[in-house]
Structure 1
Amino acid sequence: MIEAHSLTKRYGERIAVDDLSFTVRPGTVTGFLGPNGAGKSTTMRMLLGLDAPTSGRAVVNGRSYAEHRAPLHEVGAMLEARAVHTGRSAYHHLLALAATHGIPSRRVNEMIDLVGLRAVARKRVGGFSLGMGQRLGIAAALLGDPATVILDEPVNGLDPEGILWIRNLLKALAAEGRTVLVSSHLMSEMALTAEHLIVIGRGRLIADTSVAEFTARAAGDLVRVRTDQAERLRGLLSGPDVTVTAQEDGVLLVTGLSSERIGRIAAGSGVALAELTPQRASLEEAFMELTRDAVEYQAPAAQLVGAGGEGRTA
């Protein structure tokens, strides 16, 4: 389990993390999301004892990282996959890490096979592609068979097969009862991998909820209705706090009423419905909506699209 208690980190006058509290529980893949500059990397560094908080406390499996006698067995982390001596081979990099904790060499070989690096295990890391470096970083994180795993952007540089592999790996780790915290900018991938989300902006907590609740919160109570009596139903649904918008023939978008209430009104008036669907925002749409005021770095709209559809400045 990972616990952040009122974590605050200041760099001079700038507050990178501001009184942040959350808990990451075992058995679930938890996505750690936020716009650029939100404080995600700083928070993960404090969880791992790499940065000291200005105030507050970070606890992993009941202790601060520095208090663990054999941290690789407790917490496996990948914050920067390429932070490896480029002259070493993948095998000797993992072997050196294993030696610090008395981990047998057979575990090194197991991890090399797990991440699919057997063919290049004896080659120098300096010649690795970004995706190969990511795989090596994940192998290092799992080397000590830790109860808690913290990964920052693990799918960077991976091809579609690699992305599917890491998705299934993370789910399998959670299914074994491990605590899994994953930071990513790929909303589509987080929607397929994570069950729970911790979202921050400008160093503060925005949401600590399930993926389903997060997307529902952004979508509100929008309901899509299709019927061959659209105009009649539109009149039946009208009210001071209800908005009904006609789409293509026979389709209405309704806000201000639940799908259950709409169904009852239609049934009570003899209006047959062909479709009654509560709308759900995608994770990307929900993220954009709920972090809109927390975006620190945002290009002016005029710079985003220029002549020919290409981004260019005036």
Structure 2
Amino acid sequence: MIRAHGLTKRYGGKNPKTAVDGLSFEVRPGTVTGFLGPNGAGKSTTMRMLLGLDAPTAGRCTIGGRAYAAHTAPLTEVGALLEARSIHPGRSAYHHLMALAHTHGIPRSRVEDVLATTGLSDVAGRRVKGFSLGMGQRLGIAAALLGEPSTLILDEPVNGLDPEGVLWIRNLLKAQAAEGRTVLVSSHLMSEMSVTADHLIIIGRGRLLADTTVERFVRDSGSGSVKVVSPAAARLTELLAGPAVTITSDAPGTLDIRGTDAEHIGTTAAAHSIPLFELTPQSVSLEQAFMDLTHDSVEYGTPLEGAAA
């Protein structure tokens, strides 16, 4: 399990910049937890603190009940991918992994196993400087898996992967969680997170914005609508009208209603004997729910299409 309590990181002297601000969360084993946030939200800084690469200004974080540096054999406890290309370019994939393996007494057979798992067996003898971005990502993931750790922390693991590679990492993460491991993964690909993650931790400007399941986050985002088809659409519109309710129509007898739920609409219609031919909640995508939540936390925003300059 990963725990962060009051995690804070400030940079600078007279005018410090707060990258992470009082962040507290838990990442439990057996699930894939998506770590999301806009650029500059503090995700990478948080991951670096989890791994002992940056010291927190305040607060603390533990992995498996202790700080990362306190683990006597960290590769067997935590597998991490923060920067896949931070590898000596003159080394081969095989020798890079063997160098890591020697530090923990990991046998050569395990190196061969992770090369096979990540699809790198055929290029194991090639120097890393000739690797594509996707191959470099696969090597970084191989290193993270090397010690068969109980916790995985991966920053943008699908970056540079082709569709087959994206599907592979998705299935890999799910399999790792199914075996009881703790999996924390950051990504900007909301479509991928929607089918990979079970739980979400979302931050903005270094602060926690949401800590919930994917299903609940999308359901409770408040940006979904309800499609209603009724021969008395005009009358229903009058009954549901209110400052928080938005009702539009793109066809006679058809309403798109926001600001209230299907239960209230159905109850109101029944109370006034209004027939309904259709009453269908229209769920939003994870991407839209994420954008709605984080729009005030974006460090460098761009104008929305159609907005005034």
Q: Would you say same fold, with TM above 0.5?
A: yes
Match of 1:2 in 2: 2
1:225 pairs, out of 224, 228, 251, with 228
Identity of paired residues, percent? 67
Match of 1:208 in 2: 211
Match of 1:139 in 2: 142
Partners in 1 of 2:244 and 2:132 — Cα distance?
56
Partners in 2 of 1:274 and 1:80 — Cα distance?
54
Matched, 1:296 2:299: yes
Please list, as runs of the form range in 1=range in 2, the aligned pairs for 1:254-293 lying within 5 A after superposition. Answer: 254-293=257-296
The answer to whether the 8 Å contact 2:9/2:58 transfers is yes
2:40 pairs, out of 26, 32, 37, with 37
Shift of residue 241, structure 1, vs aligned partner: 5.3
2:128 pairs, out of 125, 128, 144, with 125
Partners in 1 of 2:293 and 2:255 — Cα distance?
25
Partners in 1 of 2:279 and 2:304 — Cα distance?
36
Return closer, same or farther for 1:292/1:256 CA change in 2, 3 Å cut-off. Answer: closer
Q: Please list the CA deviations of residues 63-115 of structure 1 after superposition, one character each: whole Å capped at 9, or x if unmatched.
A: 00000000011000000001111111111111111111111111111101101
The answer to whether the 8 Å contact 1:224/1:251 transfers is yes
Partners in 2 of 1:158 and 1:256 — Cα distance?
39
The answer to whether the 8 Å contact 2:223/2:289 transfers is no
Match of 2:250 in 1: 247
Return closer, same or farther for 1:240/1:31 CA change in 2, 3 Å cut-off. Answer: closer
Match of 2:168 in 1: 165
Q: What is the TM-score with the length of structure 1 in the denominator?
A: 0.91
Q: Please list the CA deviations of residues 175-213 of structure 1 after superposition, one character each: whole Å capped at 9, or x if unmatched.
A: 111100001111111111111111111111111111122
Partners in 2 of 1:18 and 1:242 — Cα distance?
35
Shift of residue 250, structure 1, vs aligned partner: 2.4
Please list, as runs of the form range in 1=range in 2, the aligned pairs for 1:149-160 lying within 5 A after superposition. Answer: 149-160=152-163
Aligned residues, how many? 305
The gaps in structure 1 that reach 5 residues or longer are 307-314
Q: Please list the CA deviations of residues 1-41 of structure 1 after superposition, one character each: whole Å capped at 9, or x if unmatched.
A: 00011111111111111111111111111111111111111
Q: Please list the CA deviations of residues 250-297 of structure 1 after superposition, one character each: whole Å capped at 9, or x if unmatched.
A: 221223432122223334444443321223221111111111111112
Q: Please list the CA deviations of residues 112-166 of structure 1 after superposition, one character each: whole Å capped at 9, or x if unmatched.
A: 1101111111111110000000000001001000110000000000000000110
Shift of residue 234, structure 1, vs aligned partner: 2.6
Q: Please list the CA deviations of residues 287-312 of structure 1 after superposition, one character each: whole Å capped at 9, or x if unmatched.
A: 1111111111224669x999xxxxxx
SS of corresponding position for 2:87: coil
SS of corresponding position for 2:61: strand
SS of corresponding position for 1:293: coil
The answer to whether the 8 Å contact 1:219/1:279 transfers is no
Partners in 1 of 2:244 and 2:135 — Cα distance?
55
Return closer, same or farther for 1:176/1:223 CA change in 2, 3 Å cut-off. Answer: same
Please list, as runs of the form range in 1=range in 2, the aligned pairs for 1:101-112 lying within 5 A after superposition. Answer: 101-112=104-115
Letter in 1 for 2:95: H
Shift of residue 236, structure 1, vs aligned partner: 4.1
The answer to whether the 8 Å contact 1:223/1:254 transfers is yes
Partners in 1 of 2:270 and 2:285 — Cα distance?
30
Letter in 1 for 2:115: I
Shift of residue 242, structure 1, vs aligned partner: 4.1
**RMSD of aligned C-alpha atoms?**
2.1
The answer to whether the 8 Å contact 1:87/1:125 transfers is yes
Partners in 2 of 1:257 and 1:206 — Cα distance?
23
Match of 1:60 in 2: 63
Greater shift after overlay, 179-188 or 223-232?
223-232
